[in-house]
Structure 1
């Protein structure tokens, strides 16, 4: 398994508020409304996004990826698993308190790839984990 971690992002909201919003993906409606703004920032790589309470589907450069929540560790971590993704994929969003009104988060992607595939997917996965962390850090919780 190859892992890619984002930088630690500081969020000006409590750990509980961040976790509560992200643990139910229906709460991302506000992000969906701003998708057109994000599309410009992501240079057209993100084409569409849809979600329900437990899953998120992204269309990136013609490929649909569905991530499903498989575990919720209250206030600390939300774990996703790829559902019918081209390669076996996991994603974790870790949330830690800094103060009562500030939290920090890190996004980690784990992918099961052979050495040949690693060379092909390393750059897109690293960029993807960083852009996802940036996007999550911008959400008004």
Structure 2
């Protein structure tokens, strides 16, 4: 097993840093968005993997991945208005530690960068490395479009 690091480009969110942090640091806010369209987009873009049964509470979310079983990601650390640290458990074939970093650009703009550390075997890395390189920026783009309020 080796750890691979993936870092997104810095993205700009057209919203205040505190509002962005409060929204992203509570997984319940993501539940409606995920269930109303994101799961179908994921399943269309990666047809080999089917993600179903997404549910969440404030600190964690759980979902099933075809052929792998139930997976869970959990917020393990929050630094108010700056950083959200997330860890994986469950049926994923890779171990994930994930950071969302936020910095103010102005009163109504927030810079965001995502960092993913994935622990995986060489065989898994050969299969998913390119997808993770592309996916970290796609996820960052998606997070810029959430309905922050």
Q: What's 1:111 paired with?
A: 118
- 1:22-42 CA-partner distances (Å, limit 9, x unpaired): 111112244135326x62476
Q: How does 1:80-95 map to 2 (within 5 A)?
A: 80-84=86-90, 85-95=92-102
Q: How many residues are treated as equivalent by the alignment?
A: 140
Structure 2 residue 51 is the aligned partner of structure 1 residue 47: yes
Q: Rate the CA distance shift 1:110–1:41 in 2: closer, same or farther, 3 A.
A: closer
**What's the CA shift for 1:113?**
2.7
- 1:39-80 CA-partner distances (Å, limit 9, x unpaired): 247634363332211112345565453211110011011001
- Tell me how far apart the structure 2 counterparts of residues 47 and 114 of structure 1 sit (CA, whole Å): 22
Structure 2 residue 98 is the aligned partner of structure 1 residue 96: no
Q: Rate the CA distance shift 1:111–1:41 in 2: closer, same or farther, 3 A.
A: closer
Q: Rate the CA distance shift 1:106–1:14 in 2: closer, same or farther, 3 A.
A: same
Aligned-pair Cα RMSD in Å: 2.3
Q: What's 2:18 paired with?
A: 16
Q: Which deviates more from structure 2 when the two are superposed, residues 125-134 or residues 53-62?
A: 53-62
The TM-score normalised by the length of structure 1 is: 0.83
Structure 2 residue 139 is the aligned partner of structure 1 residue 132: yes
The TM-score normalised by the length of structure 2 is: 0.79
Q: Which deviates more from structure 2 when the two are superposed, residues 106-115 or residues 16-25?
A: 106-115
Runs of 4+ aligned structure 1 residues displaced above 6 Å come to none
Give ranges in structure 1 of 5+ residues lacking alignment: none
